[in-house]
Chains A and B, each alone.
Chain A
Amino acid sequence: MLLGPPARVLRDVRWYLREISGTAAYERFCRSHEERHPGTPAPSRRAYERQRTRHREENPQSRCC
């Protein structure tokens, strides 16, 4: 890897924030969509995020104290 340590830390932090917040979820979805249905276009990000929100609506998650 050609990156210096500060750049690497920054990249890792960015990766972590994107993963934990779910920002990266759409890209992962597109990759797996391509694997499962090659050639067909994946739903738009807007549609995907709506789908995800609907799912969250129906599956509430406990938050502890």
Chain B
Amino acid sequence: MSTNGVRSARPTPKSVLIWTCVALVGAVAWGVVALTRGEEISAIWLVTAALCSYAIAYRFYSRFIARRVLELDDRRATAAERLEDGVDFQPTDRRVVFGHHFAAIAGAGPLVGPVMAAQMGYLPGTLWIVVGVVFAGAVQDMVVLFISMRRNGKSLGQMARDEIGTVGGTAALIAVLAIMIILLAVLALVVVNALAQSPWGTFSVAMTIPIALFMGFYLRYLRPGRVVETSFIGVALLLLAIVSGGWVENSSLADAFTWSPTTLVFCLVGYGFVASVLPVWMLLAPRDYLSTFMKIGTIALLAIGVVVSAPSLKNDAVSPFAESGTGPVFAGSLFPFLFITIACGALSGFHALVSSGTTPKLVQKESQVRLIGYGAMLMESFVAVMALIAASVLDPGLYFAMNAPSGLLGTTVDSASQAVAGLGFTISPDDLAAAAKSVEETSLISRTGGAPTLAFGMSDIFSGVFGGDGMRAFWYHFAIMFEALFILTTVDAGTRVGRFMLQDMLGNVWKPIGRVTWKPGIWITSAIIVGLWGYFLYVGATDPLGGINQLFPLFGIANQLLAAIALTVATTLLIKAGKLRWAWVTGIPLAWDVAVTFVAGWQKIFHDNPKIGFFAQRERYADALDAGKVLPPAKSLDDMETVVLNSTVDGIIMIVFLVLVAVVIVHAAVVCVRAVRSAQPLPTTEAPFVESKILISGERSEELVGAAAGDSSSGPKGHRR
């Protein structure tokens, strides 16, 4: 072993052989995925192609980043070791940190985006998910985790302020908050669309609240700290809630749980506010445990389901909409809109907040940022691939009947069937009705937002493996429930984080509001945050043009813009550290991301097609309104006014986002030029070197993961010496 704990032995013939095989299998799988036309292929090819690519990327590219670019050094004590306090800073086993980190980054995002992107066929989406994660998403997560860890776990906003100055830093902070608002609104909209008019879904998701409350009280008063036991009880109750949802649907209670989208919006807003001001032990913490266990369980189940049932993909490899850009799910051409529709799973800026939050304070050894940062993101990417598979096993006719806006499809199976035929696909009214009946929903027409489509695909896959057709409805509502669970957890955690950020900002202007213990301050700031996302949620739920296809591009662009900020900070730090020659590692993903987001943003603002450009849309509807005309899908002059208002607001938000991020990038560029020109290296903001005293026994060095294919040593072996 070399001095910095990183082995640099020559590769053994065995490892050369293994990696050659992995590369060959991967190449064959990609060949099948990419070149097959006109016949259905098995989902196994997609899974194989993705897994082999991940293995190679992890083994070679992440190792290169670890050794050459970041120069991870296991002799150096991490922040967790130096500042260990048993509360924030705590050197933790890498597998445990991996689990925490994965649970924090993965949620509904990688499940929703790929479903929508399936309108362009499975090939473009799969390529972007795999290539994007390998060269951009996982790199961002790993590098941000590293730079934050070397700076004692500083947040992204703080690092932006320290590294690129007050103006750039403040712009970054405002951008983070604004982006979070849109994110929460769109995620909540997914829940609304999944639960509207579905008594089964609504009942079982509503039951999560008493279940979480029960767990909260149990943990606080009966068995403090026994989280595993409490979570098992909770999961059992949750499964019971899903089953009993079916009973409710077939009983006289069904009407009481059949809610309109508007009712659901008000319930969610109310819930969001209450959840964010209640003590965490009551609702947030237990819900978080439930959601973590469900997440791991469901993802494992999905992976088993896909591999065992090996469904064939009914979707086209590349659909006609990939070229024409006239698809009904989201408007616009493949570049740039595919790349913002799939954000989570390929490149997600939000992860940078997690990578610069709790995770860097737990890392035991520097070399472990490779597994935690890069590895966890690969796993999220795999979830995205499985979501794309779940959407692609659906018959395209059904897919479009579920995902096109209701303005296009109408409300009856006949009108929907005709509209789908108009798009160039077929589904008979009977088949559409039968599909809804098979999962015991009243209708599947225009159930946009991704969740119902994914749930349908999952029920298709699961029922082929566990329980047959009789279990279809159960699996459908199981999938709806677990997505809603993730999203509600994100919504109340996000509202809380947003409230703290707002309190922090407003505290600079008026002291009392910044105090985290002053109740009225908490209520006011929580109400502001909930009001902001609640507004967009309401707008989305009532938009005559279909909220998801109006707001989802904003969500995707927002998330990718956050990634632009994170990659800018990362690139600036590499250059400041005198590593100009490695700056391309984050610089190329940054350039790509800026190209995607700014082209998409530009088109959203200036495109003259009213389906794409917000202001063109505004003009079209405003002109018609002046002439007293009603343009479909609007049904009244009120609808027309709503469209005009919404497109104006969306357009302005787009401009604000782009300007904020442009400010950050320009300021960073100035800092970079200064760093390159400076004769001496600029002063570092890293914490100084301290020798590490932690020895890890029984674990092979991280860098050997690839070579040690046969090594399956696991178990609790990391010790302090």
Interface residue ranges, A against B (CB under 8 Å): 8, 11-12, 15-23, 25-26, 28-29, 32, 45-46, 48-50, 52-53, 55-65
Contact = CB atoms under 8 A, between A and B. Distances in A.
Contacts of A57: 279-280
B104 A62 contact: yes
Interface of B: 86-88, 92-93, 95-96, 99-100, 104-110, 112, 183, 187, 219-220, 224-228, 231, 279-281, 285, 288-289, 292, 343-344, 348, 350-351, 353-354, 357-358, 489-490, 493-494, 496-497, 499-500, 516, 559, 714-716
Most buried by B among A16, A32, A61: A61
Most buried by B among A23, A45, A63: A63
A23 B714 contact: no
Contact of B96 (A20, A49, A61): A20
Contacts of A60: 493, 496-497, 499-500
Nearest to B499: A60
Nearest to A26: B225
Contacts of B289: 21
Given A20-B99, A21-B289, A64-B105, A15 B225 contact: no
Given A12-B715, A63-B493, A23 B225 contact: yes
Nearest to B109: A65
B354 A62 contact: yes
A8 to B, nearest CB: 7
Contact of B183 (A50, A56, A58, A65): A65
Most buried by A among B105, B231, B280: B280
B187 A65 contact: yes
Contacts of A12: 714-716
A38 B225 CA distance: 24
A61 to B, nearest CB: 5
Given A59-B88, A64-B107, A65-B559, A22 B350 contact: no
Given A29-B86, A53-B280, A64-B106, A58 B516 contact: yes
B344 A65 contact: yes
Contacts of A53: 220, 279-281, 285
Contacts of A45: 224-225
Contacts of A56: 280, 285
6 contacts: A19-B92, A20-B292, A49-B219, A52-B87, A62-B357, A65-B112
B225 A25 contact: yes
Most buried by A among B87, B110, B225, B489: B225
Contacts of A8: 715
For the complex of A and B, 10 pairs with smallest distance between CB atoms: A65-B109, A21-B227, A60-B496, A49-B224, A64-B350, A63-B493, A20-B99, A19-B96, A62-B353, A63-B490
